Structure 1
Amino acid sequence: MHEYQSLKVEQHGAIAHVLINRPAKANAMDEAFWTEMVDIFDWVDRTDSVRVAVISGAGDHFSAGIDLAMLAQAAGEMTQDIGRNAERIRRNVLRLQAAFNAVEECRKPVIAAVHGYCIGGAIDLISACDMRYATASAHFSIKEIDMGMAADVGTLQRLPHIIGDGMMRELAYTGRAVFGDEAREMGLVNRVYADHATLIEGVMGIAGQIAAKSPLAIRGTKEMIRYSRDHSVADGLNYIATWNAAMLQSEDLKLAMTAHMSRKPAEFAD
């Protein structure tokens, strides 16, 4: 498999495990990270043998967010022309957003397994994932406010749909830390595990359950959930009716029915 600088990918059966791999830098998101995310999630999307992706951090942390050295470099590239500066910043922000759009738009479910720091840009990342799980000591913070800026890579757009508007505002305005149990209470994470090893084991178990389902049905389910978030109920119902007009003719349906009747697990094609 392709060698990456900031990320590492391993395929275990039908599960792709994506590791943010800069442990010496608390997995801060450097220049390479943003392009590699797009590349890797394009690969996950295209590769039929991959049915689920898990994203976690190597070493002691999930990620401490955007690498400040990268921000400093961008600041150094500013000119005297305010219009040209604005255009450059805007283009750069859209480029960073594309890395997490790739996660959200990936046809396969993406699960975040969080331990240690999950700060700033890392919150933007997990907000784009399908589900989130964490250790009790995981440390979440929308830190951008303490950098004198508004979060701009997806947190403010996606997080209200996950934890609700009021809670998201509290975290975004204060930048305060939230740990595992509180994160579970507010619905930021689905479940809390004692330590990193049990977290990875638990998340891989959930990923395995999803990987055993019809990949076509999982694909449709993710697409509908994503579409319905941004559309009316009527739009969503209309879309699923059209979608399933084709998908209900799939072989997977017959396989699933037969398996259900015979109480044996179904084996679905990639």
Structure 2
Amino acid sequence: MAAVVGSIGRGLLRRQMSAQIQPWLTFRAVSSAPGQPPASHSYETLKVSQVREKVLHVELNRPDKRNAMNAAFWREMVECFNKIAQDSECHAVVVSGTGKLFTAGIDFLEIGQVFLTVEGDDVARKAWNLRKMIREYQESFSVLEKCPKPIIAAVHGGCIGGGVDLISACDIRYCTQDAWFQVKEVDIGLAADVGTLQRLPRIIGNQSLVNELAFTARKMMAPEAESSGLVSRVFQDKQAMLEGSFELAADIASKSPVAVQGTKINILYSRDHSVSEGLQYMATWNMSMLQTEDLVKSAQAVMEKKSPKDVVFSKL
């Protein structure tokens, strides 16, 4: 790869070096200082903070309710991640839970009443309105996929019901040794309807195991979650997991946002399309994106034996 980048870079650099170096040096001199607070985020159920340069930490923040997902949560997830998607200062996100566990899932004391009292003059109209509500709730996690910034789920303790839906929409999943995962919906009389049944089979790649988890609502403990591919790393405790998650996010955030965000978009597109369609989409994507200044800067860093972290990229 380095040889390919070097070959590309030498050709590009011969044509563009004189035009590129001075603006780059100027940009380095005026780039914002690390540690500045993120754009304003004020929520009832979420806590947002900046933990590294270009890295945001979004915490599920109802510890007294075991981070159960009430009506405000579903609304605020969409608001929060739509805002993050437009935040040029953020390049990566870590999602975790406050308190004793990641989340207990849907807050049925509140949400149950919403679904039981759906408006409508007859069955058809009630069903129409109920479908609209379900689609809105699905968007609360689909927004994680639509956000072009890589999102890392950091799970400790229980990740129950809606929690599995949430992390299935994230790009990378870490957990602690005490973490466990449960597709709980059949135990409360419904089929999971906000993403688990659609995304989990593609993550685990074992339909038999997915069916077992979904039909029985049994717990999947951290070792099995790692061996099945649901999570990629297991940590001794929450603090170690968060540090590992923040370091991973910082590493991702240091790279070209054109490259990283383009990679996420194309991975998700290819997941849902044929190989041929994915290749055609990729070619169309890169016919413009290969003209980025980031390629020249990255190639120069390789030729000068510098770390990618030494390169300062323009905002996206």
Q: Report the TM-score when normalising by structure 1.
A: 0.97
Kept in 1, the 8 Å contact 2:115–2:130? The answer is no
Aligned-partner SS, 1:254: helix
Structure 2: gaps spanning 5 or more residues: 1-39
Q: CA deviation at 1:77?
A: 1.2
Residue 241 of structure 2 is matched in structure 1 by 199
The corresponding residue for 1:30 is 70
State the partner residue of 1:252.
Answer: 294
- The gaps in structure 1 that reach 5 residues or longer are none
Give the Cα separation in 2 of the matches to 1:75 and 1:225. Answer: 35
Kindly provide the CA deviation profile for residues 127-169 of structure 1, in whole angstroms up to 9, marking residues without a partner as x: 0000100001111000001111100000000111100222211
1:76 Cα offset (Å): 4.2
Which residue of structure 2 aligns with residue 4 of structure 1?
A: 43
**Which residue in 2 is equivalent to 1:46?**
86
Equivalent residues in 2 for 1:1-270, closer than 5 Å: 1-12=40-51, 13-78=53-118, 81-164=122-205, 165-264=207-306, 265-270=310-315
Give the Cα separation in 1 of the matches to 2:116 and 2:219. Answer: 31
Instruction: Provide closer, same or farther for how the CA distance between residues 46 and 78 of structure 1 changes in structure 2, counting only shifts above 3 A.
Output: closer
Q: C-alpha deviations, 1:7-62, integer Å up to 9, x for none? A: 11112320111000000000000000011101110111000010001100011111
Q: Structure 1 pair 75/219, CA: closer, same or farther in 2 (3 Å)?
A: closer
Query: SS in structure 2 opposite 1:192?
Result: strand
TM-score, normalised relative to structure 2? 0.83
Q: Distance in 2 between matches of 1:220 and 1:166?
A: 33
Matches of 2:131 and 2:232 in 1, distance apart?
34
Please tell me whether the aligned partners of residues 67 and 98 of structure 2 are also in contact (alpha carbons under 8 angstroms).
Answer: yes
How far off its partner does 1:195 sit? Answer: 0.3
Q: Residue 174 of structure 1: CA displacement?
A: 0.9
Following TM superposition, by how much is the alpha carbon of 1:78 offset from its aligned partner in structure 2, in angstroms? 4.2
Report Cα offsets for 1:161-191 as digits up to 9, x if no partner: 1002222111111110011111000000000
Aligned partners of 2:183 and 2:94: how far apart in 1?
22
Q: Which runs of 4+ in 1 moved over 4 A?
A: none
Deviation at 1:69, TM superposition (A): 1.4
CA RMSD of aligned residues (A): 1.1
* Cα distance change, pair 219–75 in 1 and its aligned pair in 2 (3 A): closer
* Identical pairs, percent: 49
Q: Structure 1 CA distance, aligned partners of 2:266 and 2:115? A: 40
Paired AA for residue 314 in structure 2? A
For residues 296 and 204 of structure 2, the distance between their equivalents in structure 1, rounded to whole angstroms, comes to: 37
Q: Aligned pair in 2 of structure 1 residues 256, 169: CA closer, same or farther (>3 Å)?
A: same
More divergent stretch after superposition (124-133 vs 70-79) = 70-79
Equivalent-residue separation in structure 2 for 1:171 and 1:71 (angstroms): 24
Distance 2:94 2:115 in 1: 33
CA distance, structure 1, for counterparts of residue 112 and residue 278 of structure 2? 43
Whole-Å Cα distance in 1 between the matches of residues 72 and 166 of structure 2? 15
Structure 1 residue 227, shift from structure 2 partner: 0.2
